[in-house]
Amino acid sequence: MARTRPSRGATPSSRSASPTGRLSPGITDHGAGATDQGADTAVTRELHLSAADDPLRLSRAIEHAIEGRGPAVQPFAVGRALSTGPGAAHSSSIDDATGVVEDEVAVVIATSGSSGYPKRVALSASALLASARATQSAIGGPGRWVLAMPAHYVAGVQVLVRSIVAGTAPVPLAGGAFGIEAFTAAVAEARSGQRSYTALVPAQVARLLDDDRGRGALAALDAVIVGGQAVPSVLRDRAAAAGVRLVRSYGSSETAGGCVYDGRPLDGVTVRLVDGEIRIGGPTLALGYLDDADRTAAVFPEDADGRWFRTGDTGTIDDQGVVHVFGRIDNVIVSGGVNVSLDRVEAAVRERPGLDSAVVVGAADPRWGSVPVVAVDAAAPAVSLSEVRDAVERELGVAARPARIVRLAELPLLGTGKPDRSAVARLVAPPRPEE
C-alpha cells in the first residue's frame, strides 16, 4: 500500500510534518498507527478511491470520512488515469485502498487546473464543513442540491457536502451527463416543497439560457452558483432577464471550493493583496498537497496573521471590501514589449455579443513576439474582428488587441466545463515554417 500525506511544512499546526512531505518513518506498510520505537508518530487513516459515477455512494463515503467513521476519500472518474502518486493507472474499482494519510484528511481532490501541473489537494472535514455552512448562510438556508458538475472535482464534492450539512439527498442528473432534459428533470425533483440550488460553470448556464426549458429550470431554483471562470456581464444580464439568481463564486480546490461570492468573502474568510496577488485565509483552506512539501510551503505561507493560500491571481479590493479578480498572474504575454494579461483581454472580448464563451490565448508572432488570439466555437455568430479589436483597445490599450479570431469545430473543454487552454493554444498556433 502506498504511503502518502499532505505536506504542510514543519509548523506547529502540522502535528507530524516532515521535511520530505511524506509519512514519518514510523509509519509502516502494516497499516495506520504502526510505529517504530521512538519515532515521530502520527495518527493516520487509510485513503480509499471512490468512483464519481455513483454520486450517492460517494456521498455516503464522504459523510463517513467527515464524521471519522470511514477512510479518507479520493473521488475519481471511472476510466481516467488516477493521480495517486507513482504508478498511477486507470481503474474502475470502488473503494480501493490507495494509501495512508494523516487522520485530519477527509477528502483528496486530484486536480491540474485548466493548464497546469497535476496535484492532489488534501481537505479536512473542518474545511469542507466550514465552506458548506458558510455557503448555506450566504445563499438563503438549507435546501436540496442538483448535482450537475462532475463529482470528482471540488465543485461536485461541495454539492455533496452541502447536501450532507442540509440533511438532504443530492439529485444527480440521470445518466450522469449534462443535458437539458436531464437537468430540467433533476430540478423538478429537487424542488419538491423545499429550497433548491445547483452549481454550474458559465458554459452550462449559457446552454440552458438558450433553451426555453433550461431557462425555466434555472429560474425555478433559489440560487445558481456559477464558478470555474469569470462570468461575463452579458451572461449575467441574460440570466437576470430570465429571472435567474446567479451567485458568482471564486475559489479553488485549495479553498474547499468557492469562498468569495459576488465579490464578498464568506463567513470566516479573509482576503488580502500582497504585491497585487490575491491571498486567502480562513477555515476553508486545504491542509496542503500530498507528497509535495516544497509546493505546499510555497503556496500556503504562514505569517503572524495566520496561514494563507497564494491564489496566483491578480485583482483589487475596493473601498466596500468587494474583491475584483483580474486573472492569472502567469497568464501574461509580452507583445511588442508590453505585458498583456490574456485573462483581461478575454474578459473584454466576452462582453461582445456572441462571444460570451470565447477563449483568448497567446500565439507566437514574428513581429510582436506574441499576440492575443480569440478562439470561438464554429457555431458562434459572425463577429467583426475590427470591432473586437477596437473594443479591447479602448479598455486595455493597443498591445492587447487580438490579432485574429479563429473558429474551431469545437472548443476543447476539461471535465469541469472549463476551457482546456493548452489544447486551444495548440489549435490556434500558426503553422511552423518548413525547415
| Per-residue pLDDT, 339 | 87
How many domains are contained in the chain?
2
Label residues 369-388 b or e (16+ Cβ within 10 Å = b).
ebbbbbbbeeebeebeeeeb
pTM of the model: 0.78
> Do 322 and 353 have their domain in common?
no
Per-10-residue mean pLDDT for the chain, 435 residues long? Answer: 46 29 27 39 86 94 96 84 40 55 94 68 98 97 96 95 97 92 96 92 91 97 92 91 97 96 97 95 97 93 96 93 90 88 93 91 88 93 93 94 94 82 89 52
Assigned domain for 435 exists? no
Cα(39)–Cα(44) distance, integer angstroms: 14
Domain CATH code at residue 244:
3.40.50.12780
Domain CATH code at residue 413:
3.30.300.30
Query: Structural domain of residue 318, as residue ranges?
Result: 1-330
> Do 158 and 280 have their domain in common?
yes
Look-up of cell digits 500556503:
300
> Do 262 and 141 have their domain in common?
yes
| Per-residue pLDDT, 139 | 97
| Per-residue pLDDT, 176 | 84
The conformation of residue 303, written as its DSSP 8-state character, comes to: E
Assigned domain for 309 exists? yes
Please check whether residue 161 is in contact with residue 131, taking contact to mean a CB–CB distance below 8 angstroms: yes
| Per-residue pLDDT, 229 | 79
> Do 302 and 348 have their domain in common?
no
Assigned domain for 434 exists? no
> Do 105 and 160 have their domain in common?
yes
- Other CB atoms within 10 Å distance of the CB of residue 30: 9
Pairing of strands 44-51, 72-76: parallel
| Per-residue pLDDT, 92 | 37
The conformation of residue 125, written as its DSSP 8-state character, comes to: H
| Per-residue pLDDT, 24 | 25
| Per-residue pLDDT, 118 | 75
Cα(405)–Cα(358) distance, integer angstroms: 9
Structural domain ending residue among the three candidates 330, 350, 377: 330
Q: Which of 404, 89, 428, 149 is nearest to 420 (CA)?
A: 428
> Do 203 and 338 have their domain in common?
no
> Do 368 and 318 have their domain in common?
no
Cα(218)–Cα(202) distance, integer angstroms: 13
The conformation of residue 377, written as its DSSP 8-state character, comes to: E
Cα(281)–Cα(308) distance, integer angstroms: 5
> Do 219 and 360 have their domain in common?
no
Assigned domain for 206 exists? yes
The packing angle between helices 202-209 and 233-241, to 10°, is: 40
Cα(112)–Cα(118) distance, integer angstroms: 4
> Do 214 and 316 have their domain in common?
yes
- Other CB atoms within 10 Å distance of the CB of residue 36: 12
Structural domain ending residue among the three candidates 311, 330, 349: 330
